[in-house]
Amino acid sequence: MIEERFGALSDAMLRLSADAPRIEAWGRHLADVFARGGRLLACGNGGSAAEAQHLTGELVGRFVNDRQPLSAIALHGDTSATTAIVNDYGEHEVFARQVRAHGRPRDVLVALSTSGRSQNVILAVKAAHEIGMTTWALTGPAPNDLASLCDDAITIDAERTGTVQEAHLAVVHGLCAALDDALGVPS
């Protein structure tokens, strides 16, 4: 069973290597966003929330070598705001309302969903578009609603949720490496 899972991950990673130029372009774009004082917002549910928080942690902290902290917020991280929004506005608004609070034109929203159908993530992307933010999706197999809605998307063609999430982690680390390279941070 483990060999089968590792084989599926290996296959997904081979397919993902075709997206390396896109990830590098995202890194360069983010360098420009941060250079002008912009920020990155990230959202997802469950394992995708963990990936979103992993990304923002690498940006506020450091990926490999030290650099200035970068403005990045995982939208599920503020439990008081999250639970208040769910209570007062419903679960579908949990990320959209925070995008409206923290997002600014030309900022970036990274939206993660293994299915590409998470309604609260889709509404966050719609709110980001209303503000004039750039939206990127990390999802499972295409086609899906989230990938179609975002400005750009990396979709992982894999059957298992775990394989999709493992590939998303590789994208997160690739994006951090590309960003640090664009910022001139030694790797």
Give the pLDDT confidence score for residue 102 in this predicted structure. Answer: 98
pLDDT average, residue stretch 45-49: 97
pLDDT average, residue stretch 165-173: 97
Question: Please, which residues have CB within 8 angstroms of residue 174's CB and are 6 or more apart in sequence?
Answer: 20, 23
Give the pLDDT confidence score for residue 149 in this predicted structure. Answer: 98
pLDDT average, residue stretch 2-6: 92
Give the pLDDT confidence score for residue 42 in this predicted structure. Answer: 98
Report the alpha-carbon distance of residue 30 to residue 42 in Å, rounded: 13
Given a contact cutoff of 8 angstroms between Cβ atoms, the answer to whether 137 and 111 are in contact is yes
Judged by DSSP in three states, 150 sits in: coil
Domain coordinates of the chain in residue numbers?
27-183
pLDDT average, residue stretch 11-19: 95
The CA-atom distances, in angstroms, between 91 and each of 84, 99, 147 are 10, 14, 21
pLDDT confidence tier of residue 61, bands split at 50, 70 and 90: very high
Give the pLDDT confidence score for residue 186 in this predicted structure. Answer: 84
CATH level 3 topology of 27-183? Rossmann fold (3.40.50)
State the pTM of this model: 0.97
What average pLDDT does the structure give for the chain?
Answer: 97
pLDDT confidence tier of residue 55, bands split at 50, 70 and 90: very high
Supply 95's token pair.
């990320």
User: pLDDT of 127-141, one tens digit each?
Assistant: 999 999 999 999 999
User: pLDDT of 72-120, one tens digit each?
Assistant: 999 999 999 999 999 999 999 999 999 999 999 999 999 999 999 999 9
Give the pLDDT confidence score for residue 187 in this predicted structure. Answer: 75
Percentage of the chain exceeding pLDDT 70? 100
Task: Kindly report the length of the chain.
Answer: 187
SS3 content of the chain, % helix, strand, coil (to 5): 60, 10, 30
Judged by DSSP in three states, 135 sits in: strand
